[in-house]
Structure 1
Amino acid sequence: MHTVTVIVPAHNEEEGLPATLQSLARQTAPPDRILVVDDASTDRTGEVAAAHGVGVLRPPRNLGSKAKAQNYALPHCTTDLVLAVDADTVLAPDYIETVVPVFDDPDVAVAAGTVRTRRTRTVWERGRSTEYLFGFHWHRPIQARANSPMVCSGCCSVFRRDDLVAFGGFPERTIVEDMDFTWSQQIAGRRAVYVSDAVALAADPEDLTYLRKQVWRWMAGFCQNVRLHLGRLVVHKPLLAVWVLLALLEILTAPLWWATPFLVVATTDQPPASAFAWWAGAELALTAPPLIYAARRRGLSLSGVLLNLPCVYATKAVNLVYAWKALVVELLLVPLHLSRGLTVYEKGRADTPPPHSRPPHAPPPHSRPPRTPLAGSA
């Protein structure tokens, strides 16, 4: 029988935290303990957590990243499994019950389920919803079949505590601790598992400002892990190295693919309408089948899923800009000692509440403790 402690790192999460804690309380296999790390919040995060009857840990200062907040709680975990949940993520009622059995295999170090968006109100949320449906119903199952998932999502991953402690805790050397740990464990011969039947709903950026912050963190973190791990992946986990190299190839060739209809019009006699229709048809043929499968698999409205499809090109454009920035900064400038790369963790959502929601003793947003650069980052 596995035992589970949940760690919820939270900085100014007064608004989203209740839904997260309610979803944990509704679990069909309840966790043994829930710890909320109130990381120097200037709102009522700690009070909200305490009102839900969970353990609350308060570091003496802002720790500066999710991994550091999680590591602050790790010594308080005595169970054999640790579930890390973002303070804006809602788990399906059977999430723990569905994921935990994979740890009956002693080789499994980390596992996570499918991530979907909680809301689809704006073009950015709709685009991200499409990305999730495509990725978790096309790329991730293929990687899982090959026993080499690219990442166990940090918003809802379950870790074997002994492996986590032996590794030194949640990795702080890169800006994305989930990918770092997933790759490191597979290089060491341990298993990472994708559990498709377990579903988590994440709150994604609702506007461009915060989408840019999130995507820049994700892309920079991916390239930091490439710089750190790729050589050992090739030797110890070649299939995972293949997915990584394919991802790099996609980043490099994406501008050419997007420019294809313009190049066809410029270099041939083909009418613009025909060139763009051919390109759009090819895009639809490549994208629609996994989305149709995802809609049926998750019981979603097919028309709603397909209507969101155009929105994905807005998020893809943002992804591409920051992916190229990450390639230049993290894989070129950092090795040349011309940049330190991304070392400051910023969330992909507003984390400062409006003034009326702060307790009287709380400092204003501009005076909150500064974020701390990540230890060990280049």
Structure 2
Amino acid sequence: MASYRKTSTGWKATVSKRTNGKLSQTSKRGFRTKNEAIRWAAAIEAEIDGVKRNKRDVVFADYFKDWYQTYKKPKISLATLDRYKIAHKVIANYFKLKKLSSITRKDYQQFINQFGATHAKATVLKTNNYVRACLKSAIADDIILKDFTQGVEIVHNPNATIKVDYLSVEEIKVLLAECKSNLRTSFTSRYMIITAIYTGMRLGEIMALTWEDIDFDKKTISINKTWDYAHNTGFKPTKNEASIRVIRVNHKLLNIISSLRENKTKMVFENTYHKIPTPTAVNKALRELLNKTGINAKNFHFHSLRHSHVAYLLYQGVDLYAISKRLGHSDMTTTSKQYAYLIAELEQRENNRISELMDQL
């Protein structure tokens, strides 16, 4: 929108533009006639309209890729970057060359309906969160005016969610006993399994442990880095700031891993061949132990030891806040969401116990 005003030095033209509710103006004065001012303002408005038209031509998939590479890639882990790449592929396959500015809420809901029909709730939610963050950027860039993810109904396939297995207290004891029965410092996979059971640490955090991280006097382990086993690039920062923590550990664990000092390596779980067991090797060792002990856990893998650690603490009545801090979660909400099924089982057990107590009155 342009306005014109006669001044002492000639005509002045002002072109106004409103972006995200904020008004910006471009002015020029000194035109000899009003027609000159009108022609100048028309050229400026045409330039603005041209930019808007170019922005309206942006393909959704292209913008999403440019957005995560510009704003996310510099500060996220390679594993998280891979998830953004997968989300981009999903978007590109569904929306193809559809322009971002042409997508409606109905279009997006239809996408969620189709995607959710074959995917677990967590996957659908994560993809939706990525898109929503992308759209905030698109609104700031004046490409779209509204967020078409608002009010979307999340659709998911309950059968696509794999229930995480965890061990009972008795199964944990049996697994620990078998692990300890044949410990060899040249075969560090069993030591890593024992550490996961006693600490609930992530695999990458365990792989990254150095002797400087363990305080045998204070009985603590400092978790300040992780190991990039997915891309084999060595040390990398922890998952997030909350993941940097110092946890208290038990005397039994310290006694067990202290024997690894005889390997004379910087890394705690580096074997005599100066190698840290790969996730494949550790999971193979875990599967062999489960088979040997007769523990039936179909979907059980190394990360399930972390779930088993949490289950044990919950069933022993340990406060959820303390568990959240021990796991390195950013807040209790993360813990309660991730272990909702465990908390629900515990609640049911406590409700049954309450009923039994009432019957005793």
- TM value normalised by structure 1: 0.25
Larger radius of gyration: 2
- TM value normalised by structure 2: 0.25
Structure with the higher fraction of residues in helix conformation: 2
Compare relative contact order (CA 8 Å, sep 6+) and give the higher one, 1 or 2.
Answer: 1
